[in-house]
Amino acid sequence: DKNPFQWMILSFQKMYISFVFREFDILKHLAEKYFHVRFKPWTMTFVLSVQRFYGGLVSFWLYRQSGDSIWAERGHEAKLALSKWTESSQWNYQNKFYLLEAEDQYSNNDIENAKSSYTKAILSAREHKFINEEALACELAGYFYLSIDDKSTAVDYFTQAHEKYHEWGAFSKTSKLYEFVQSEFRFMHRESTQNSLQINAQNDLNQGVSKRLSDH
């Protein structure tokens, strides 16, 4: 019960799920718990890098929402770590660094550089075959553009994110994102975007039904 590595993994998984599904109300509590139990498993660098990556993304989001500088410091710590790892393996870490850079710039209202960094993160994830992280970069770019009132670009990025999450097989996430886009952009007459999301949403439903039938 007191294995620190198990507690770290459990705390991270709860924080990660809350972040992916944008459950901000409980995210801060879970993030504080994760950072409290976190330690450095030197034999498991890749595990640590994934945790640093998502911990940094969570931190920058919490900083924008709370203004508490401790979250900015944690985000910068994660970005520094990914910068160092990128020097040894661009394939595994470059896109992660670019996305942390974009979120940092977003947090500091560095709009033009943030636009460039989101694009770099998406292209790097695509080049290095990280479909899930390409989806995530598109989604976060969507929230960024929404925050600066560029709704047309935002909905385009959300559509790309939906398509990549669908390709990855994250059907619960595509459903959540579809609901968000429908709610946020219901006033926009973007028929092609709406049709794309509806087609993917229906495919998600069909695959879910097929899986349930095959399990019986």
pLDDT of residue 6: 80
H-assigned helices in the chain: 4-20, 24-37, 45-66, 69-88, 90-107, 111-127, 131-147, 151-168, 171-184, 191-214
pLDDT at residue 205 is higher than 80 = no
Q: Give the list of residues 6+ apart from residue 108 with CB closer than 8 angstroms, or none.
A: none
- pTM score: 0.83
Q: Which two tokens stand for residue 173?
A: 């996430």
How far is 61 from 28, CA to CA, in rounded Å?
A: 10
**Tens-digit pLDDT profile for residues 161-204:** 999 999 999 999 999 999 999 888 875 544 445 555 655 555 54
pLDDT in tens, 84-112: 999 999 999 999 999 999 999 999 999 99
Give yes or no for residue 19 having a pLDDT over 80.
yes
